[in-house]
Amino acid sequence: MEKKKDRFNKTEKNRWAGLTISLCLAILFYMAVSNLDAIKGSFNTALAITASVIIGAVIAFIVNPLAMIFDRKLSKHFTKHQRWSWIISSVVALVLIYALLAGLIVVIAPILIENIKTFIGGIDTYIAQLKALVISLGFASDIEAKILAFIDEQISVNGVITKYITGPTGAGASGILSFTKDLGVALMDILIGVIFSFYFLIEKTRLSELLGEFFYLVIPDRHYPKFSNIWHRFNAIFTRYIICELVDAFAVGVVNAIFMLIMGMPYVVLISLIAALTNLAPTFGPFAGAGINAILLLLVAPEYVIPFLIFTQILQLIDGYLFKPKLFGEALSVPPFLILTFLVVGGNLWGVPGLLIAIPLAAIISYIYDEIFIPWLRERKKAKKDEDKPKAKAEPSEKA
């Protein structure tokens, strides 16, 4: 009888402990949601302060696979000085990547600037053509009036943008001052980030050893192997995702440019660059890029809008169902609902960066759930069953 009472008390304690933990988690979640703006503001401030460090770490992370390829080749010749092999490999990889980027900028930037100048210079003509097209379509008078009013609003917006860029006095001057300040800060962050990338990549081994030792001392021995597996999986997923996304965006931009050149469409570089950049943002990005480019073509050459949209749809189908699966392989097998959830939440919280990291984070969460959390629950349930079996056998003897 005493044993049954002790068992009952233990069950009650466990139940109240579970309820207490659940209540505390619910309160913490409510407080986090209630103060979401403050949390988001603090997070954005921290990101702004550490922007150059983050840029350097991201660059080093992206370039690391290329440096490892060079290191495998050079390490055979530096058997006694492996560190020098890694330093040379890191420097060569970074210089090569920066040289390629500089070459692309030198080739593309003049054409891109010319496209933008031409577009801004002819925007009044494009708006007039668009209004004439709307009138020629024969809409009902009220619908036509609303569309023309919307276009007139866009004319005023475009006028503000044009003054903002050309630099008139008044509000435009203050806008240019603010823009110049933000641009200067961004360029300085990028420059410092480039310097940081050399240090991060060259000191990768030492940083890994320091972090590895720290986590080994902090994490209990029984949990350390699981943590190590999660970290290696995290590294593999992010590396594969970032590299494949960059390759995919470049391929989409090149194919888009080839199609536009064949068709004789205007603003090839500008529109192809928009298609490539928006393709970096998964799921929603290609649709946003197609919409922006369709509006540009609608203003400049409306006859190309339908062929361009049809081609973009075909390209996205090929990219989504053939090219990307080959690139990503099985590394990012994530349930669609989880991807959509992370995209919406990440986009609302952190904008474009949130969209970029949404899928790899979803992959990490999916991996932890499938490979760690579910097996732990199964083991826990099995242990409870094994614990209850002797008790079930012992109860008849207690009654006797």
pLDDT digits (tens, 9 = 90+) for 200-226: 888 888 888 888 788 888 887 777 787
Are 95 and 194 spatial neighbours (Cβ–Cβ below 8 Å)? Answer: no
- What's the one-letter identity of residue 289? G
How much is the pLDDT for 256? 92
Map out the domains of the chain as residue ranges. Answer: 240-400
Distances (CA, A) of 391 to 5, 6, 126, 377, 396: 14, 13, 84, 22, 10
* 250 has a pLDDT exceeding 80: yes
What's phi and psi for 222, nearest 5 deg? -70, -20
- Whole-number Å distance between alpha carbons of 179 and 164: 9
Q: 113 pLDDT band (50/70/90 cuts)?
A: confident
Instruction: Tell me the torsion sign for CA atoms 86, 89, 95, 100.
Output: negative
All residues at 6 or more sequence positions from 111 whose CB lies less than 8 Å from its CB, including other chains: 269
Of residues 354, 359, 308, 307, the one with CA closest to residue 331: 359
Which residue carries 């024969």 as its tokens?
Answer: 138
Give the model's confidence band at 358: pLDDT under 50 very low, under 70 low, under 90 confident, else very high.
confident
Is 244 within 8 Å of 328 (Cβ atoms)? yes
pLDDT 10s digits, 23-76: 777 787 777 667 767 776 776 777 778 888 888 888 888 888 888 888 888 877
pLDDT of residue 112: 78
Mean pLDDT (whole number) for 355-370: 76
- List of long-range contacts for 277-282, beta carbons under 8 Å, 24+ apart: 277/249, 279/248, 279/249, 279/252, 279/253, 279/319, 280/245, 280/246, 280/249, 280/356, 281/352, 281/355, 281/356, 282/245, 282/339, 282/343, 282/355, 282/358, 282/359
* Both tokens assigned to 149: 């009013």
Average pLDDT over residues 237-266: 86
Q: Which one is predicted more confidently, 13 or 120?
A: 120
Share of the chain above pLDDT 70, in %: 76
Residue range 362-366: average pLDDT?
A: 79
Q: How far is CA 326 from the centre of its chain?
A: 20
The pLDDT value recorded for residue 311 is: 92
What would the two tokens of residue 115 be? Answer: 């496209």
How many CB atoms neighbour CB 18 within 10 A?
A: 10
pLDDT of 327 reads: 66
Nearest of 66, 56, 309, 317 to residue 195 by alpha carbon: 56
pLDDT averaged over every residue in the chain: 76
How far apart CA 130 and CA 193 sit, in angstroms, is 44
The band of 351, judged by pLDDT with boundaries at 50, 70 and 90, is low
Question: How far is residue 159's CA from residue 371's CA, in Å, rounded to a whole number?
Answer: 56
Q: Are 370 and 350 in contact (CB under 8 A)?
A: no
